[in-house]
């Protein structure tokens, strides 16, 4: 076979796509309170499931996204908190593992909304190595609307299979500025819900929605009425169209679920938890 002549050992192209969405700082309680008036998140849940998860360790954006994107805690990633972290060691993230397995045939997209937390600009920042494995990796500070960049990135995949990680910061920002449960934070959740609807509609228009496994989650919540999330913020959630997701316990299990779907097996360092 031709690929053997070139010494290529990549796996065959996936026949499905994966969209992971992080709606930063969206407490489980707030989501539940707004559920009846949201449109897109409940519609996605209706195609699959909506369940509760717990974030372990420090509930801040850097630490929790390190877990969400690698499946490991600080003893492996070196990311303890937004104050104590280094560059996540090479090879541990979902994008890097997918690149190693599928080579250039898989399009990998990373569009995020918080430069100071999800840093990719230089090799001192936590997500530097992850970003190097992506075809598109961009970090847009608010108030830049990140949604058009997501839509552009999706339009650029053409016929190729994709893995996309998309992140919105508006709910977290409103929580810090106006407190958990404020009218502003609720409005931000509705805005992100509508933006997620634009992403869904784009995938529908591309004829790709049906083959896309969607996982929407958050990095942490806020305590009731709080304006920071150092404590009392571990109750989070997952909305997914993946029919095989069972009842999980921890956000850390999500990466192992996704890697399992792609047929990626990791033995070293040993995964701390199985999938969902
Ligand atoms: Zn956060
Ligand atoms: Zn925050």
User: Cα(250) to centroid of ligand 1, in Å?
Assistant: 16
What does each C-alpha distance from 272 to 70, 89, 117 come to in angstroms? 11, 17, 24
User: Cα(167) to centroid of ligand 1, in Å?
Assistant: 10
Alpha-carbon torsion angle 35, 197, 168, 77, nearest 10:
90
Given a contact cutoff of 8 angstroms between Cβ atoms, the answer to whether 119 and 139 are in contact is: yes
- Ligand at minimal distance from the CA of 173 is 2
User: Cα(26) to centroid of ligand 2, in Å?
Assistant: 9
User: Cα(96) to centroid of ligand 2, in Å?
Assistant: 26
Domain range annotation of the chain: 13-54+92-114+130-261
Residue-wise pLDDT for 217-260, tens only, equals 999 999 999 999 999 999 999 999 999 998 789 999 999 999 99
The first and second tokens of residue 1, run together, are 């076979």
CA–CA separation, 70 and 123 (whole Å): 17
Token look-up 């008036």 returns: 37
CA–CA separation, 140 and 117 (whole Å): 11
User: Cα(258) to centroid of ligand 2, in Å?
Assistant: 25
pLDDT at 8: 67
User: Longest C-alpha distance within the chain, in Å?
Assistant: 62
pLDDT at 263: 97
User: Cα(160) to centroid of ligand 2, in Å?
Assistant: 34
**147 membership: H or E segment, kind and range:** helix 147-155
Q: Consecutive 10-residue runs of the chain (276 residues): their mean pLDDT?
A: 60 96 98 98 97 96 98 97 95 98 97 91 94 97 92 97 98 97 98 98 98 98 95 96 90 96 94 87
Reported pTM: 0.96
| CATH no., domain 13-54+92-114+130-261 | 3.40.720.10
User: Cα(45) to centroid of ligand 2, in Å?
Assistant: 25
């Amino acid at each position: 076979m031709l690929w053997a002549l070139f010494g290529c050992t990549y796996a065959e192209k996936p026949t499905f796509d994966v969209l992971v969405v992080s709606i930063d700082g969206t407490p489980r309680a707030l989501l539940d309170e707004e559920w009846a008036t949201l449109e897109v998140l409940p519609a996605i849940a209706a195609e699959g499931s909506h369940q509760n998860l717990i974030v372990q360790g420090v509930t801040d954006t850097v630490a929790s996204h390190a877990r969400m994107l690698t499946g490991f805690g600080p003893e492996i990633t070196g990311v303890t908190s937004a104050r104590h972290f280094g560059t996540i060691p090479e090879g541990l993230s979902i994008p890097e593992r997918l690149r190693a397995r599928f080579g250039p045939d898989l399009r990998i997209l990373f569009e995020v909304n918080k430069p100071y937390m999800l840093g990719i600009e230089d090799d001192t920042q936590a997500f530097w190595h992850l970003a190097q494995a992506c075809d598109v990796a961009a970090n847009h500070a608010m108030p830049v609307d990140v949604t058009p960049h997501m839509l552009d990135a999706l339009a650029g995949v053409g016929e190729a299979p994709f893995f996309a990680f998309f992140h919105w910061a508006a709910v977290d920002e409103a929580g810090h500025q106006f407190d958990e449960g404020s009218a502003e934070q609720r409005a931000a959740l509705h805005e992100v819900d509508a933006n997620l609807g634009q992403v869904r509609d784009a995938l529908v228009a591309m004829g790709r929605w049906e083959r896309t496994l969607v996982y929407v989650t958050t990095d942490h919540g806020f305590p009731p009425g709080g304006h920071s999330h150092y404590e009392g913020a571990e109750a989070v959630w997952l909305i997914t169209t993946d029919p095989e997701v069972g009842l999980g316990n921890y956000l850390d299990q999500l990466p192992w679920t996704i890697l399992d779907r792609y047929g990626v097996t990791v033995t070293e360092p040993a995964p701390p938890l199985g999938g969902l």
